[in-house]
Structure 1
Amino acid sequence: MGVEHLQILSLNFQHASIEDVGLLHVAPDEQPAVLTNWKIQLGLQGIVFLSTCNRVEFIMSDEKYFCMGRQAHLMQQFGLAPEAFTRIMAAVQVYRGEQAMRHLMRVASSLESMVLGEREILTQVREAFDLAMNHRLAGDRLRVTGRSVVETAKKVFTDTDVATQAVSVNSLGWQAFKAWNLPRDASILMIGAGATNTSVGRFLAKAGYHNVHVLNRSLERAQALADILHTSMVGTLEALPDALAAGPAAIVICTGSDQALLTGEHARMLPAGPLHVLDLGVPSDLDAGFRERPELTVVDMTALKEIADQNLAIRATEVGKCESLLEAGLVEYIERLQAREVELALIELPNMIKAIRDTAMGDIFAEDLEGLDAEARQVVERIVAYLEKKYVGLPMKLAKEAVLEQLRKS
């Protein structure tokens, strides 16, 4: 017994390019069939596959060591070009036993993420285990593993401050916008309908801001964002002069352009009065001329990066607490796994005792029982059933306690 069955192959942004990580991606709707094939070909007891934008984790349960030959066989399933195959084989990290469990808990707790404290990874880990279990791919040991990993990661996020300080552009940008305390009916101009503005748009919609005019190079994408905001004011960048002349109270801009979109000429199109601008573009979507406009308040990526760096520093001070929780989680996992191993070892005990009871009452003592009246026979049957229940439960309880006591001593 123990955790040596747990083996993980990891390819992640720390050891490989994002492009190489992407070569091992498997779409969620294809995973059941693909993982079933891997499990059969490799003779695994269980498998879970985690795939994110910057890592893939092959989480496996098997008594046999996952040697270099088996690793190569698995990677060959992706049809890699020879150069990519060589790079990926060199970059894959291999974990086994307690080291594998520590790695998996660190991943689920965001300690291995690009951004320390990001919560999305826990959802991705849980969904990966759910998919494997729903399709009978995980097996009993990985079921126990997944439960322990998720519970421990939840403790990290709830019992420490590793995720309490915002560091994402979207969250920090929204916090800056909220600090302006604009009324819910304020006129807002959103320029750009990419992922960043879409995320901010969801914050705006949830907070009740619907007086929003959305402009984008592509009308289709502008309409998609407008639908989120429940607004009918939508158009392309050709409508920018009119939108500025309408006098928005705030502008949220992120275009992805390599040149500033709003210039001094655009500033002169705006009516006089206070204007707040949330500039999430890299590089900035505002040129120097626009920034000279009177009564202008700008929050841009430079300001947000300073806040993000400060918040990341605060998060980093929590890593020690996180590590302590992970070690406690590892101990709990080993105890839980050992207890489950005992349950599985004794799984035939109830059937064995039932067979003994049936033989005793149907054969050995059959004539004696026939000589009893109905009431006496019922009493005997109740006594035997009680003893049967106790003889099943007591050995399993004592065996679990013995294993856990041995673990505490070791």
Structure 2
Amino acid sequence: MKKEYTVIELCEHELNGIDEKTFRRNKKMYIQKLEEKYYVAFGKRGRFTTYILEPKEKAPEQIENEAFLEIIGCDIGRKDIELMKLILKALLEKKVTPVQNELLKLALQNNFKISKSRGTIKNYMKFLRDNQIIIPPREIPVWDNAKYVKRECDPETGEIFPTYYKKLVRWVYFDYRNEGSIGYRKRLNETTQKAIHEAFKTIYKEEYVQKIVPLLKTNLSKEFISDSVSKLKMKVLQELGEAYGINACRRVEEPIINPLLSRQLKEYFGLNEEQKQRVTELDIDVSHIEVVNINRPVGISMSELEQMLEYKKLINERVQLYKEKESALPLEMYEKWHGIEFEQQLMKGITEINSSENSNDFNEANDSAVKVNEDNHVVDTCDTQDDFKKQLAAFKFKSNKTVNDGTNLMLSAFLNKEKGA
């Protein structure tokens, strides 16, 4: 259907409300832009020149682009729509480490002619954040009631400010190797990521108590403590990387695609729905527990019951990894196990695996969870911690492992612990 516009009407209805003078200064450019969608002709309305627009038949590519722009709900201006799609699809697929260098490498591999500097990708990511396509993580205020924590408050109202804000983020762990300006940042598979994340939380918590808490009890500056915390996190990540046999373990926050757009974008890109995450339920008898209403002030530490439930959940999740044949854990995990109950639960889970008829399935799954190496030697005895490290390293890279291999390794760890090695 043809439509006739004066210059003022054309600017308002077809050119996003630009000023009439702007149109006249750049008339050729705007006419070319209109000709992408319309056949443009000139007419007369009294003493005014008019523009007659007749829609062209849309190409499939144009229809797809319009659908994409409708989903994200903003004008991208002169930005390359195909590069915008590539970035969003990569973030949704979760196969590439979501950092600028890796997104740049992906763009170059797909023949986008952009600068090898980080400026272009950085600009696109900023655009996505400014337009709420990528949203910031939620932050929860936390009040630490420990005696050594210096509490800050409003002198007028007496309001106690939060000790810190906890970000609700999903961490992406990757293997980093420096190969020049671009580098190598390989995203680890989901099974390894889960194991490393659980190990990181356990080890970092204990190291924090031993090394950071004493600093908090002093009058050291926040900047010094913050720097110490960063170095401690890097140290723990480095140790985990060595345990898993990768070059250098690093982690980065997973960008959060706006949930209102995420589902539509997945459908647009033809991506499969994310699998529901496995939720491990605790098998706890609560028939003897009386439900009461507890008004606990914000900032008070967890009760003994809550701490017990958290610990039981940790135990259950670790045992579940063996029951579901998903993981072979590194040395640091063995060293961090505590408590008789935990060992009993773990041994119970191992017994169930040994009695399972699906031991072959366990072997195959366990092989895929670790890196395979030609070295197939396992030390039969281990009297010291160093010997046990060698035994573990051999186990990690052994192909054709058996359930008994894993059981013997854990029994060796427990024996080490009892001997105090």
TM-score range, shorter chain: under 0.3
TM-score if structure 1 supplies the norm length?
A: 0.17
TM-score if structure 2 supplies the norm length?
A: 0.17
The structure with higher relative contact order (CA 8 Å, sep 6+) is: 1
Which is richer in helix?
A: 1
